[in-house]
Structures are given as structure tokens and as C-alpha cells.
């Protein structure tokens, strides 16, 4: 056993520069879409924004590639990320309403829950159509057209409840490679049999005009180096995910 451990340590030292090079070359991108006149017409400075309770989940990628949910990491990320988004928007002059969280006792068919469910459904459809290139009967696969999605005028009820002009919705998943996964990645490089992927971060965001229900801004963010488990990493993620907002 000691000889195996020494061999692994030597292998890690030899392959670490390769792993670092692969990591630094990893994908980091954003994909922003807006309505035709968004940047000309909209200025969020001085406007009130309500953030729907964000969907955030962190995982650890095991040696096999399976993702194990990590409740403690997720709790930290939610705290850090909400604070980071609040700070980002406030420093740029936007006013913030309290985060929109439906009361636990509200039934599933309550009007507010239905509006938020519609919001998530539209957000997911925009993502699958414009980023994953899934065709829709009336839209084909064109992804570069201006946004033309709406939740309808019913969202004015959210404006009345919160006093907000716009609703911001954010969804993030983040995963981190376990020691076993890192060892498997390095072994694959050493044996030239596979280039295994490690953990990565992905996020989707939308901004809805609560007067019209129109989705006026949309962004997809991917990053293989992001880390939301501390305040600094959460702030960096917030900046990337909120790219393109007129602030």
C-alpha cells in the first residue's frame, strides 16, 4: 500500500501542471438576450426590483461522476449569493423590495404560487429554446432574435404586493470535484484514455417587467472555475449572472 500511495503522489505532482492548464482553459461564458428596445428604454437606476427566491443547489461530484447534493454548501451559497446580488444592485442605484418568498401555508393553487410557477416555466422554455436549440413550432431554432416572451398582465399582482417595477429570477447549480474525481481525471490524462470533466457552475436569469409581464432580459452563465461557498466567489458569480443589466 505505501508504494501505491507514493506512486499516486508522484503522478499527481507530474500531472498537476497539465490539470491547471486544462482548468485555466475551461469554459467561462455568458449568453445575454434582451428585447429590441431594452437598452434604449430601460434604466434600472431608481427602479424597484424584487427578487424571486432564487433556486440554488450545490453538489460534490464523486469519482464516478455522480452528483451528491451538499446541504451545508447550499445553505452557505444561498446566504452569500442573495447578499451579493443585493449589494450589486444597491451599489448601482436600484431599489430592492424584500425577496419574494410565498408563505409556507399558501396552497399550491394560490394565485401567487401559480404566477411564480408560470415564471419558472417560461424561464426554462427560453433556456431550452435559445441555449439548447430545442425547436418550437412557432419559433424554429433561431436564438439570436430579440426576446419576445411574456408572462402576461397577471403579474401586475406581484407589483401590487411588492411595490416593484421588475422581478428578477435566478437559478444556479454548482458542483465541485471530490478528491476521488480529481484522481480519476488525472489518471485519465496520464493513460490518455479519457478527458473527464470536473465540477462546473451554471446559472440562468430573467428580468420581467411587472407592468406588462414581458421578459425583457435573459442571461445564461457557465463557468468551470466559479465557487459560491464564500462571499468573494458568490459576488463574482453574481456579477457574471447579472451581466447586461442597464445599471
Q: How does pLDDT run across 185-233, given as a tens digit for each residue?
A: 777 766 766 666 667 888 899 999 999 999 999 999 888 777 889 999 9
The lowest-confidence range among 26-30, 90-94, 239-243 is: 26-30
3-state per-residue secondary structure call for 73-99: HHHHHHHHHHHHHHHHHHHCCCEECCC
Residue 17 pLDDT greater than 80, yes or no: no
Statement: the pTM of the whole predicted model exceeds 0.75:
yes
Q: Are strands 95-96 and 166-177 parallel, antiparallel or unpaired?
A: unpaired
- How confident is the model over 138-163, as pLDDT tens digits? 776 655 667 889 999 999 999 999 99
- How confident is the model over 125-142, as pLDDT tens digits? 888 888 877 777 777 665
Cell of 154: 397577471
Phi, psi for residue 142 in degrees, rounded to 5:
-60, 120
pLDDT of residue 19: 40
Amino acid at each position: 500500500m505505501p508504494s501505491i500511495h507514493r506512486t499516486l503522489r508522484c503522478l499527481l505532482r507530474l500531472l498537476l501542471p497539465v490539470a491547471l492548464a486544462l482548468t485555466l482553459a475551461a469554459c467561462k461564458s455568458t449568453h445575454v438576450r434582451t428585447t429590441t428596445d431594452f437598452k434604449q428604454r430601460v434604466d434600472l437606476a431608481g427602479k424597484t426590483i424584487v427578487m424571486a427566491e432564487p433556486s440554488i443547489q450545490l453538489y460534490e461530484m464523486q469519482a464516478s461522476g455522480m452528483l451528491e447534493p451538499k446541504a451545508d454548501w447550499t445553505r452557505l451559497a444561498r446566504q452569500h449569493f442573495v447578499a451579493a446580488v443585493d449589494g450589486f444592485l444597491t451599489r448601482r442605484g436600484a431599489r430592492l423590495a424584500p425577496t419574494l418568498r410565498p408563505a409556507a401555508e399558501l396552497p399550491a393553487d394560490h394565485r401567487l404560487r401559480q404566477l411564480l410557477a408560470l415564471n419558472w416555466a417560461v424561464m426554462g422554455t427560453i433556456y431550452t429554446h435559445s441555449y439548447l436549440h430545442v425547436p418550437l413550432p412557432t419559433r424554429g431554432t433561431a436564438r439570436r432574435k430579440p426576446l419576445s416572451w411574456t408572462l402576461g398582465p397577471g403579474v401586475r399582482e406581484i407589483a401590487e404586493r411588492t411595490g416593484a417595477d421588475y422581478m428578477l429570477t435566478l437559478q444556479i447549480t454548482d458542483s465541485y470535484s471530490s478528491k476521488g474525481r480529481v484522481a480519476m481525471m488525472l489518471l485519465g490524462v496520464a493513460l490518455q484514455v479519457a478527458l473527464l470533466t470536473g465540477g462546473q457552475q451554471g446559472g440562468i436569469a430573467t428580468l420581467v417587467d411587472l407592468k406588462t409581464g414581458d421578459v425583457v432580459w435573459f442571461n445564461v452563465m457557465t463557468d468551470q472555475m466559479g465557487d459560491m461557498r464564500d462571499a468573494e466567489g458568490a459576488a463574482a458569480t453574481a456579477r457574471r449572472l447579472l451581466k447586461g443589466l442597464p445599471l
